[in-house]
Structures are given as C-alpha cells and as structure tokens.
Amino acid sequence: MDRNNILGSTESIVSIEDFLDTYDLDSPNGQRFSKEGINILGDLEILPLTFRTPKIFDINILASWFFYSGCIGNRFNSSLHIPPQHKKILEKTVKTLGTKLKDSSARKNIFNLSKNRVYFSRLLHCAGVPQSQGDNAHKETKSKMELKLLPYISFLANKYTNIRGNDRKIAIKLLADHCKVLLLTRLTPNYSQFKLNFFKDLHSTTVEEAQYLPRQIVDIFNIIYPKIGLVADEIKVRKVGEGYEPSISFKQEQIMNASKYYGLFELNVNVNQQFHSLGRSLTFKNK
C-alpha cells in the first residue's frame, strides 16, 4: 500500500454511474436530464467526484452543511438553514461551484441554490447526504433514518493514520472543514457551557445506538483537534417521547483550548471566572 496515494487509489466518492442511478433512465425525461446534469457537473469539474477533484473542498463544505443543517427532499428539491452571520461563508463556496444562494422568502434564514439545484442535490445525495420524503406525512423522516457520518468523511477518519504526503493535507482539510461546519450549524449556548445539538433521533432504540454519530464526531475532533480535549463522556442522550436527543457538551476549558491552540473561536469579552460562563460572547473564526 502506497501511503502517499491512498486517496488517489480510492474509488470515486461519486461516480457517473452513481449519479445516473438517481434517474429513471427508461423515461425520456430521465435520459434528457441525466445527460444534462452529467455535462453541467462535468464542465464544473466535480463529476466524477474524487478526493483529487479540484473543487472537493467546496463540495465538502456544501455536503457537510446539508447534512447538519439542510434538507434534500423526495424530488431532490433542497434547502439550507444559514444564520445571517455565516451567510458569507456559503456564498463564497457556492460561487466557486457556479451558483448562488437564493432566499426562499417563505421561511427565515432558509436558502436554496439558484442554479443547478437538483443536480447538486443528486450529487450530494450520492455522497451520503440523506434524502427525506419531503411531504407533510413524513416530516420527521430524516430523524427516522440511521444517521452516520458521510461515508467519505468516515473513510478519511478510519484511514487517517496511514495517509501520508499531500494526501494527508487533503484529509486534514476535509476533516477540519467538516468539523467547522458542524460547529457553525449545531453549537449553541447552554448555561455555563456550549453544546453540540444533534437531530432528534427516532431510529435508535437504545441510548447506545443514539450515541453512535456523536461518538464518530468525538473521534474526528480528537484526530484533527486533539488539544481541545473532547471526550466521549461529554455525550449526553435525553429521552424525548419515542425518540432521543443526543448532544455533546463543550465545557469552558474546551472552548478556551479551541481558541488558544487552533484559533477556532474569538472570545469578544473577558470570561467571567466567578460563574465560569462564556455566555453568548463566542464568535466562530473562519480560518
């Protein structure tokens, strides 16, 4: 095994065949639009999608955002929830991909892609972003799925110790950006600390099952940001009705470590040492 070429020798994250499988190729429309999608995404140099694709970093940010704070519906219509303070990050990303953010106007801070939305949705779904039923009868479909890390992110985490050379730089960038998107979309103040809140989980039948995705996240943070000191003991699972609500606590010390060692956060006011509270004085730094 050539440790300098693990990513280069890996099969495509999304192949042309994978993309074609999202269409009914027995219908004229399926044949027409699948060909059009392949041509458009091919011209953008993102299909086939591999770890060596020039725009893989932008696709990774978009895929991660859809995974943690977006929705791909049953007809591959899609939308993203983007807080105003983070909108510029996504605007830069989608511009590189030849499209723009379009305000859905119906709901606050909900955006669509203005161009080639369905083609990107199909591509991202092939890369592992869940697809919901997208109708009133299946509003919580996503929460009923067995949610795991995006497969290509899981692959990088599992192979990380063996990856060398330029491939390691690619792996670090992809894993780090995935973690940053998670922080941007799911980190919220919680009294004297912060908390990563995950989706309501209606698929798992035990606390242990509901901890699966959070444990994967802790593993990635310890690969990329080991000095933060995130541990599995910080995973909390709350029983809510028929489901579970998992979360990961970020204590003050861990937030300070993230800022001190990795520059992930900018603390705008002095920490109140008496109550050990950062309050809402936390700003994410997009580095």
Q: Phi, psi at residue 48, to the nearest 5°? A: -65, 150
> Which H or E run includes 233?
none
The pLDDT value recorded for residue 273 is 35
The pLDDT value recorded for residue 279 is 37
Measure the CA–CA gap between 198 and 143, rounded to whole angstroms: 10
Residue 19 corresponds to which amino acid? F
Average per-residue pLDDT in the chain? Answer: 85
Asked if residue 272 has pLDDT above 70, the reply is no
- Who wins on pLDDT, 45 or 266? 45
Mean pLDDT of 157-184: 95
Whose tokens are 């050539």? That residue is: 2
Confidence of residue 91 (pLDDT cuts 50, 70, 90): very high
Percent of the chain with pLDDT over 70: 86
**CB of 97 closer than 8 Å to CB of 61:** no
Measure the CA–CA gap between 11 and 204, rounded to whole angstroms: 31
Structure tokens given for 135: 């109708």
- Who wins on pLDDT, 25 or 275? 25
Measure the CA–CA gap between 59 and 166, rounded to whole angstroms: 19
Measure the CA–CA gap between 87 and 101, rounded to whole angstroms: 9
Mean pLDDT of 209-214: 93
Predicted TM-score of the model (pTM) = 0.88
Measure the CA–CA gap between 264 and 66, rounded to whole angstroms: 21
Q: Is the N-terminal amide bond of 189 cis, ω within 30° of 0?
A: no
- Which of 17-21, 88-92, 103-107, 137-141 has maximum average pLDDT? 17-21
| Lowest-pLDDT choice from 138-147, 209-218, 229-238 | 138-147
Asked if residue 147 has pLDDT above 70, the reply is yes
| Lowest-pLDDT choice from 39-48, 145-154, 174-183 | 145-154
The pLDDT value recorded for residue 275 is 32
Confidence of residue 143 (pLDDT cuts 50, 70, 90): low
The pLDDT value recorded for residue 271 is 37
Asked if residue 243 has pLDDT above 90, the reply is no
